[in-house]
Structure 1
Amino acid sequence: MGKTASRGDRPSGALVSLGAALLTFLLGAVRCNGSCDQVIMSNSSKNGTITSPNYPNPYPANTRCNYHFQGEGKERVQIKFTDFDLYMPHEGIKECENVDSVIGFITIKGQRERLDNFCGSQLPNQIMSNEHRMTVIFQSFGSRPPSVKGFRAIYQFVTNFGIPSGRQDPQGVCTFIYNSSEVSNGTFSTPNYPGVYPRDTECHYLFYGKSNEKIYIEFAYFDVEGVPPCLSDTASDYVEFSNFRTVDRKIPRHCGNLRPTKIESDADFFRVSFKSNDKFDGTGFEAFYQFRNNPDPFTVRQVSAVQNKQNVHRSV
């Protein structure tokens, strides 16, 4: 899996303060000049909205707006579109090229990579950055009918990767703990579900049952980009299952669009791991889990023997 580029030595506090002050000054200057560019920093606003110019009224032609999101530490940028109506001169335009569009960009290995292009009137999937920053660009071209109103989106700087269940392990980056002493059943999902999961991301879901329990897992939805057997030479994202904290070689990786069969743990611990590379995307998975009592086989045999004896007695 690809890794993000190192940011080198941490700058001094004075340099950080100077940089923040300069950024604030420039942002104010841009707004005074009437530009639609924005720099949104998590230390000023953890959530809010962005829109096309004049929204919900028609946006101007030949316009380009840059929305730069800058988070901190383990934060990720999550964008949820709530309204989307851009002019499309005709259907079937490949990858929204040379038409009014919204484009998401992330940084991988120090290089800016395009996450996706959105155009037309279909509401896009929500998106998430692979690190603490993201850029969204809105661009419009020539004339258009007066009815199109542009877009509106909600942004959040999140540390839980958009995973609402489980208890996040503060010692990890994307590790979530499910303990039967806290909740006996529920759901878990990939980051940003039901939107596109972030690239270059690794998450672990750790299930801890009581000594007499097993973990049962069933997938309701599965879309993890890859080609079985989901190895690195095919640039596949994958989901991995294990009865241990290390690799469980008897259970193969899973990727593609086919849901895995129902899963039963061997004992009271189970691990699910998700790993995405820096190349392709999918909408991930959602799964149900349940902790169930694991009957003692010796006790079951004793009960069966008593029942059989009673049945024989009745027949006599």
Structure 2
Amino acid sequence: MRRRRILLAALLWLLATSLDALSSLLFCKCIVFNATQGVFQTPNFPRPVPKGNCFLFHFAAPPHHTVRLRFDTFELEKRQTRCVDYVRLFEKTVDGEIDDDSPHDGEYCGDEVSSEYALWMTPLQITPNALFVSSGNHLLVHVNVEIGGENRGFRGHFKFVPNDKYEMNAIELSPCEFTANTFRGNLFSPRAPYYYPSSTVYSYHVPPRRGHVTRLRLVFLEFPHGSCDSHFLRISEIKPKRFRDKLCFNSAPPYEILSANGFLIEFYAGDNSEARSRGFQIEYDYFEDSAPLGAHLLGPLDLFDAPSESPMPFLHVWHSLVLLPAILYPSISSDSDSHSGCPVRIISPTSSDATINKTGNLSTWDLFRDQPLPRPSKCQIIFVGSGHERVQVSFLRFNLFSPLGFNSTQRVEGSRTLSGARKWDLRQWAKLEEHMIPFLRLPKNPIKEVLLYFFSENGYGCEERDHLTAHVLVGTRMSRIDDFCADRTPPQLMSSKNLLTVDYVLKPTAPDDEKPFGFFLKYQFRTDLGLSEMYAKRDESKSCQFIFNSTKRSSGNLWSPNHPGLYPRNINCNYIFHGAATQVVAIHFEYFDVEGFQQCEDSTQSDYVLFSNYQTHDRTNRRYCGRSRPSASIVSEHNYFRMMFKSNDIFEATGFYAHYQFITPKSSQTNRVKLTSSDAPAALAWTPFLYLLILLGLL
């Protein structure tokens, strides 16, 4: 009798353990979802899920489709040492069939997939509003409830998406390398919309097209949080190759970048096994560059053609006047309403640790979503860097309200005027006259002190409508950079010291419609003046000194601080070149816009570029300023060469961009260039390379 009892107990135990093992899948209730989209939830949601239940949700999409899930609410028994009540996701099943040995792609319990809990960003959680995505056309969700309790279960949405929405408009040149082949299309991270693979590098070429400007728009980006060193997009121009931007986890739409030189997009991916980020989508297109400068972006009254020597049509050179003190500091009515969120202070972390994020985004839609700014009012945004940091601000979207009758305004002057307004090269007057409105014509013999302020009917400056005013700290005073209004995207700005302010001014007149007016900007706290991508050695003992050594790089590019934006005021930068004993260095400018005129003397308060063959100051050499780049290549006499760039505290411009190359002249060549104060070109025994450079300058 006792033996039978022992055998019976053993059999019952075996049966119980077997049933327990089988109940995970074989005895689960299966629910199939085959509609194109809909809602899924635990039974009787939001009532608690009874214990002892097992469900298998099978999302079966048609072939060539992807399943996307989003949990709106998720509440199961919290994790102890392991999940007892849980949801397991199977994303990579080929035919929609799984068994007890099939590996799952994620296990969740508690409230680990809810938006609130996901902010903690542990490996078992997802970011807010993130999607679960299948790699094929099947996705299975295994729900096991043993404890139940008062937990409500979950509710979410699903959608079947055709895979052709994620087909790139590009040709695969080689493994991991693609080139765009249409006038408009999309580029995706590998395996999109599924999670991209770990430890990989992909390249995407968007080649330049003659007579067209290339535009890139960021549609979607999802990289692991805090992963800027290992997961990022590096965007460069193709011809000539020049770094433009780096997009990390904190980059977000709207983002747009333009160039006539094409783009190379390099995608660097680190370990994505835990974060399971979905990568990016970038939209590209081409538009003709036959319209006046900026007409595609800035509106119909941008009448100036780009300078013929400019290789970068995307640069919008900002020439605005400083007219009167009343315009310099527009007054705000004393009865303006205040806003509890103003002023906005953004202060850089004091630590020098490179892992600390010193980049961020800011938009009026986020700042004033809960409490809109009243009219009239003024809200100041203050950016404060630490130590020797400078503040860099880039506007990714800009569209401020302008009442009817207010049109875009151009302000132009012949050279300096009044208390030192910005210059306009007199050689641009003839070109300007071609685009003037019919009733206004330039004088035949314009003099330096002529001020021309032209506008269309009822047009006024920014001070009479909603606008943005930027100020920087110069010495001990705040100095105004400019006013920006309407849909004219401001240039990239950089502070002279560690302080930059932006005043957002709203006038009494409000828009009639619900169009979302405002701006979206990206800010960075930088110590490199935007010059680190030149790959030159920085002299840390100087505020702005970079050393180019031929043993490191025989050729490369250089540019002004913050290029292609406005360079900061009170800059004194040295670009020093060291070649081998028999080498000289040649510098060829592709773009040049340095505030100044005439011979750039100190009396004209001009910024300038100066070259020297010696370590001491060479007063015999010519200064360069204005908007006319040096037509010929600048070549050193010896293997040492120094280029100096100096700006004062009055105005700023968009600076310069140049190529350099170390070359070895023929042994018979003894007459090398000597830069003089004369406008005539110096004598030079030309090498074939120098002939090539001068031909490039003439094209």
TM-score, normalized by the shorter chain, greater than 0.5: yes
Which residue of the partner structure matches residue 256 of structure 1? 626
Q: Does 1:130 align with 2:442?
A: no
SS of 1:297 mapped into structure 2: coil
Q: Distance in 2 between matches of 1:120 and 1:168?
A: 40
Query: Across the two proteins, how many residue pairs are aligned to each other?
Result: 266
1:68 aligns with 2:382: yes
2: CA distance, partners of 1:95 / 1:270: 45
1:35 matched to which residue of 2? 341
CA distance in structure 1 between the aligned counterparts of 2:368 and 2:549, rounded to whole angstroms? 46
In the TM superposition, 1:47-86 aligns within 5 A as: 47-54=359-366, 60-62=373-375, 63-86=377-400
2:650 to 279, 296, 300: 279
State the alpha-carbon separation in 1 of the partners of residues 627 and 460 from structure 2. 24
1:149 maps to which of 511, 517, 521: 517
What is residue 232 of structure 1 aligned with on the other side? 602
Moved more, 46-55 or 249-258: 46-55
Q: C-alpha offsets along residues 197-220 of structure 1, whole Å, 9 cap, x if unaligned?
A: 111111111111111111000000
CA distance in 2, matches of 1:231, 1:176: 25
Q: Name the CA distance, whole Å, in 1 between partners of 2:562 and 2:368.
A: 27
Residue of structure 2 equivalent to 1:222: 592
Deviations 1:133-157 (A, max 9, x none): 1111112122113213310100011
Equivalent-residue separation in structure 1 for 2:461 and 2:650 (angstroms) = 16
Paired AA for residue 143 in structure 1: A
Q: 2:505 aligns with which of 139, 144, 160?
A: 139
Q: State the secondary structure of the residue aligned to 1:97.
A: helix
Q: Percent of aligned positions with the same letter in both sequences? A: 37
Distance between the aligned counterparts of 1:207 and 1:234, measured in 2?
Answer: 29
> Could you say what secondary structure the match of 1:199 adopts?
coil
Distance 1:54 1:71 in 2: 22
State the distance in 1 between where 2:519 and 2:645 align: 32
Partner residue of 2:665 out of 294, 304, 307: 294
Aligned residue for 2:530? 162
Following the alignment from structure 1 to structure 2, what is the Cα–Cα distance between the partners of residues 265 and 218?
Answer: 12
Are the equivalent residues in 2 in contact too, given 1:56–1:149 (CA < 8 A)? no
Counterpart in 1 of 2:548? 178
Contact 1:87 1:148 in 2 (8 A): no
Question: What are the ranges of 5 or more consecutive residues in structure 1 without an aligned counterpart?
Answer: 1-32, 299-316
Q: How much is the aligned-residue C-alpha RMSD, in angstroms?
A: 2.0
2: distance between equivalents of 1:222 and 1:294? 27
Question: Are the aligned partners of 1:55 and 1:149 in contact in 2 as well (CA < 8 Å)?
Answer: no
Greater Rg over alpha carbons, structure = 2
Residue in structure 2 matching 1:265, options 636, 640, 661 = 636
**What SS is found at the alignment partner of 2:623?**
coil
The TM-score with structure 1 as length reference comes to 0.79
What is the letter of the counterpart of residue 344 of structure 2?
Answer: Q
Aligned to 2:138: none
Q: Which has the higher contact order (CA 8 A, sep 6+)?
A: 1
Other-structure match for 2:268: none
Match of 2:480 in 1: 114
Does the aligned pair in 2 maintain the 1:104–1:114 contact within 8 Å?
yes
Q: Distance in 2 between matches of 1:116 and 1:263?
A: 33
Instruction: State the SS of the aligned residue for 1:221.
Output: strand
Q: CA deviation at 1:43?
A: 1.3
Q: Distance in 1 between matches of 2:373 and 2:651?
A: 33
Residues 59 and 150 in structure 1, CA contact (< 8 A), matched pair in contact too: no
- State the one-letter code of the partner of 2:489: L
CA contact (8 A) 1:56 1:150 kept: no
With normalisation by structure 2, the TM-score equals: 0.37
Q: Please state how far the C-alpha of 1:119 moved relative to its aligned partner.
A: 0.6
Which has a greater percent of helix?
Answer: 1
User: Which amino acid in the other structure matches residue 78 of structure 1?
Assistant: Q
User: Which amino acid counterpart does residue 39 of structure 1 have in structure 2?
Assistant: R
Deviation of 1:250 (Å):
3.5
**Could you tell me how far apart the structure 2 residues matched to 1:280 and 1:205 are?**
22
